[in-house]
C-alpha cells in the first residue's frame, strides 16, 4: 500500500496572514517540534519582500541555521516558497534544496497575487523551476485556484490541465493543485486529479486544500482515493491567502495525520508534538484555532485497519497519539 507524504506549511501559509509577528526563537521551537513528529516536509517560510510580509522576514536566517545544523531535520526535509527570481536566488544562497512555486489558474487572482497575468506567470515559474532543478534542487510546481476563484468563480478544467501540461513538458513532474479559495468538492477533486494523473506515468501529485466552506478533510480523502501522493496542511488550521476574496485557513495537519491513522497509515507520524505546537500558537495569538483533533485528542489506536485500497493488514503499533 502506498504511503502518503505529509507536508506542513503552517510556518509559511499559516503565518503569512497573521498580524502578530512570531519571534524567530518561537519558530525555531515549532520547527523542532514538528520535525520530532515524523512529518516528511516542513515549509519554513517564503523568500518574499519582508516589508510586505513581515512574518517571513527571518526566512533567510532560519534556513541558514537549519542547513548548518542538519541534526535538526530529524528525517524531515525543509521547503520554501518562492515567487520570483530574486526569491529563488536568496533561497539558493541559503542552501534550500526543496522549492515550491506556482501560478494561479485565475487571471484575477494571479494579478492580485503577483502583478502578472496567468500566462506571464507561467512562463516565469517554468524558467525558475528549470533553474532550480538544474541546481539539483527538488521542485514542486503548483496550480493555485485550481478548483475555483473567489473573484472569477468556477475555473475551467481545461485551463488547469493546460498549465499542468506546460509544467510536464518542462520536465517539472511534482505538481500540486491548490484550492486557494476553498471552493473544491470531493467529486471535483477526484475528477481533476484523475485527469492530471492521466497525463503521464511519472507525475507526483500533491494537494493543498483550504477549509473555507468545511470540505477540506473530505477533499483530502477524495484526493487520496484519486491517487494523490503528497498532502499539505497547517498546524491548527492556520492560514489563508491574503489575495483571495474570502481568506480561510488550511486543513489542519493534525487532522490530516489522524485521518491517515484511521486508514491504517503513517503510524510513524505522531500527533502529540503537532498538538503541542498548536497549543503554543493559541497562547501566542490569544485565540482558539480551527480544527478538531487538537481539541478532542486523537482516537486511541486499537489495532483496527480501515484501508480503502483492497485487502487487509494490521495497522502499525500505536505511536499516533
Q: Is 83 left (phi over 0), alpha (psi -120 to 50) or beta?
A: alpha
Distance CA 160, CA 197 (A): 13
Catalytic residue among 94, 100, 149, 241: 241
Q: 180 is written with which cell numbers?
A: 486557494
Q: Who's near 284: CB < 8 A, 6+ residues apart?
A: 20, 22, 26
Distance CA 24, CA 172 (A): 33
Helix (H, G, I), strand (E, B) or coil at 66: helix
Whether 230 contacts 4, CB under 8 Å: yes
Distance CA 282, CA 118 (A): 36
Whether 5 contacts 245, CB under 8 Å: no
DSSP structural state of residue 321: -
Secondary structure element (H or E) that encloses residue 284, with its range: helix 272-285
Whether 89 contacts 116, CB under 8 Å: no
**Interaxial angle between packed helices 186-197 and 157-169, expressed in degrees from 0 to 180 and rounded to the nearest 10:** 30
Q: Who's near 202: CB < 8 A, 6+ residues apart?
A: 173
Active site residue 100: no
DSSP structural state of residue 99: E
- List the one residue out of 12, 21, 78 whose CA is nearest residue 242: 12
Number of other CB atoms surrounding residue 198 within 10 Å: 11
| Residues noted as catalytic | 241
Amino acid at each position: 500500500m502506498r504511503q502518503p507524504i505529509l507536508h506542513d506549511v503552517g510556518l509559511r501559509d499559516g503565518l503569512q496572514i497573521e498580524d502578530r509577528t512570531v519571534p524567530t526563537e518561537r519558530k525555531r521551537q515549532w520547527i523542532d517540534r514538528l520535525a520530532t513528529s515524523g512529518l516528511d516536509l516542513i515549509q519554513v517560510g517564503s523568500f518574499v519582500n519582508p516589508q510586505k510580509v513581515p512574518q517571513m522576514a527571518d526566512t533567510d536566517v532560519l534556513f541558514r541555521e537549519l542547513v548548518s545544523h542538519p541534526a535538526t531535520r530529524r528525517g524531515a526535509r525543509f521547503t520554501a516558497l518562492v515567487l520570483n527570481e530574486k526569491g529563488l536566488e536568496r533561497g539558493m544562497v541559503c542552501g534550500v534544496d526543496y522549492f515550491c512555486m506556482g501560478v494561479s489558474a485565475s487571471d484575477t487572482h494571479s494579478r492580485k497575487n503577483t502583478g502578472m497575468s496567468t500566462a506571464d506567470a507561467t512562463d516565469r515559474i517554468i524558467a525558475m523551476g528549470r533553474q532550480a532543478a538544474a541546481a539539483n534542487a527538488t521542485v514542486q510546481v503548483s496550480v493555485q485556484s485550481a478548483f475555483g476563484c473567489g473573484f472569477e468563480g468556477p475555473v475551467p478544467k481545461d485551463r488547469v490541465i493546460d498549465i499542468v501540461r506546460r509544467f510536464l513538458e518542462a520536465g517539472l513532474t511534482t505538481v500540486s493543485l491548490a484550492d486557494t479559495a476553498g471552493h473544491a468538492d470531493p467529486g471535483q477533486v477526484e475528477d481533476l486529479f484523475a485527469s492530471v494523473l492521466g497525463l503521464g506515468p511519472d507525475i507526483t501529485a500533491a494537494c493543498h486544500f483550504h477549509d473555507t466552506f468545511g470540505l477540506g478533510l473530505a477533499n483530502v480523502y477524495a484526493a487520496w482515493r484519486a491517487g494523490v501522493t503528497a498532502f499539505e496542511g497547517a498546524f491548527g488550521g492556520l492560514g489563508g491567502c491574503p489575495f483571495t476574496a474570502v481568506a480561510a485557513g488550511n486543513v489542519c495537519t493534525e487532522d490530516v495525520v489522524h485521518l491517515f491513522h484511521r486508514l491504517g497509515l503513517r503510524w510513524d507520524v505522531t500527533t502529540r508534538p503537532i498538538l503541542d505546537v498548536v497549543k503554543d500558537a493559541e497562547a501566542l495569538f490569544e485565540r482558539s484555532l480551527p480544527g478538531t483533533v487538537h481539541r478532542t485528542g486523537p482516537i486511541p489506536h486499537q489495532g483496527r485497519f480501515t484501508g480503502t485500497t483492497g485487502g487487509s493488514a494490521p495497522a502499525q503499533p500505536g505511536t499516533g497519539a
